[in-house]
C-alpha cells in the first residue's frame, strides 16, 4: 500500500529523524513539522516550523495530508502544566486538524509509561487499567483518551502506539524487558500507518520480541506486525546486575517518588 502524503510531527526528534529517512522513499510527500527549523533533504519533503499549541498553524500544515504520525511533545517527566500544554493540547490540535482536513489515519505516540505501576511479573495487555508511573504517563493517558474520543465521536481512524524504550541497543537492565529496536519501531509505525482503512481505534504496545518483556505483543488482526529483535541476545552488553526476577513494578526508577517530586512546586 502506498503511503500517499504523510505528516510527521516532532520530525526533528530521535524517532522522527529515523522515520523521516525511512519513509522518504515510500511517501508521495512528507510534511515534516517541528518547532525546530528543518531543511528539506529531498524533493518530496515539505518542512514546516510549527508550534503544536498553535491550532490554526497545525490545521494549515495538515491540509491535504492522508496520514499523520504524531510524535511531537514533551518526551519525559516535566511539570504538569508543561505536559498538558505540549502533549494534551498539542494532540487535541492535531486530532482536530485531522478531522477538519479529512486525514484518513492518525497514529499517536503513546508510551509504556501509562502502565508503569503494573507488576513487573505481569504480562500486561492494552485493555487492562492504566496505571501511569508519573505525570508524563498521565499526559499520555489523556492523549489516548483524546484519540478514543475522536474515533468514537467523529469516526477518525486512530492507532495509539505505546512505545517502549527506543534505543539502538539495550543499555540498562530494564531494557531487557522494554527495548524497542529501531528496526521494530519502523515496523510498528509502517503497520500503523497502513492498517486497513476500516480500522477505527487500536491501542498496542510497540516493543521488540524481548524474552523478558512486560507487555503483550499486538493482536495481528489489529496491527499486522511481528517484531524480530530480542534484547536477550545482547544481555551480556548490559552494564550492572541483571534483574533477579519478576519483582517491583514495570516503570522501575520512573515510578520512584523522587522522579516526579523534582517537577512539583516546592
For residue 148, give every residue at least 6 positions away whose Cβ sits within 8 Å of its Cβ, in sequence order, or none: 158, 201
188 annotated active-site: no
Q: Helix 135-154 vs helix 90-101: angle between axes, to the nearest 10 degrees?
A: 20
Angle, vertex CA 218, rays to CA 142 and CA 204, nearest 5? 10
Residues 123, 216 contacting (CB under 8 angstroms): yes
- In 10 A of CB 157, how many CB atoms? 22
For residue 167, give every residue at least 6 positions away whose Cβ sits within 8 Å of its Cβ, in sequence order, or none: 175, 179, 180, 181
Choice among 136, 150, 225, 254 that is catalytic: 136
Catalytic residue annotation: 136
Amino acid at each position: 500500500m502506498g503511503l500517499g502524503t504523510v505528516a510527521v510531527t516532532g520530525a526533528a526528534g530521535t524517532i522522527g529523524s529515523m522515520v523521516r529517512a525511512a519513509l522518504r522513499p515510500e511517501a508521495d510527500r512528507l510534511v515534516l513539522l517541528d518547532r525546530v527549523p528543518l531543511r528539506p533533504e529531498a524533493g518530496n519533503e515539505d518542512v514546516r516550523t510549527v508550534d503544536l499549541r498553535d491550532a490554526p498553524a497545525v490545521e494549515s500544515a495538515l491540509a491535504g495530508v492522508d496520514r499523520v504520525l504524531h510524535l511531537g511533545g514533551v518526551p519525559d517527566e516535566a511539570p504538569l502544566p508543561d505536559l498538558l500544554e505540549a502533549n494534551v493540547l498539542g494532540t487535541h490540535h492535531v486530532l482536530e486538524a485531522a478531522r477538519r482536513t479529512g486525514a484518513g489515519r492518525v497514529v499517536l505516540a503513546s508510551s509504556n509509561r501509562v502502565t508503569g505501576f503494573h507488576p513487573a511479573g505481569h504480562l500486561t495487555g492494552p485493555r487492562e487499567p492504566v496505571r501511569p508511573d508519573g505525570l508524563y504517563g498521565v499526559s499520555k493517558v489523556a492523549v489516548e483518551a483524546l484519540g478514543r474520543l475522536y474515533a468514537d465521536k467523529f469516526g477518525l481512524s486512530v492507532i495509539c502506539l505505546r512505545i517502549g524504550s527506543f534505543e539502538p541497543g539495550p543499555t540498562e537492565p530494564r531494557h531487557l524487558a522494554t527495548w524497542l529496536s529501531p528496526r521494530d519501531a519502523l515496523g510498528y509505525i509502517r503497520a500503523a500507518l497502513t492498517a486497513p482503512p476500516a480500522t477505527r481505534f487500536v491501542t498496542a504496545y510497540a516493543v521488540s520480541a524481548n524474552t523478558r518483556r512486560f507487555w503483550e505483543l499486538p493482536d495481528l488482526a489489529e496491527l499486522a506486525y511481528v517484531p524480530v529483535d530480542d534484547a536477550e541476545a545482547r544481555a551480556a552488553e548490559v552494564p550492572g546486575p541483571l534483574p533477579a526476577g519478576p519483582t517491583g513494578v514495570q516503570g522501575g526508577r520512573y515510578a520512584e517518588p523522587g522522579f516526579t517530586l523534582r517537577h512539583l512546586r516546592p
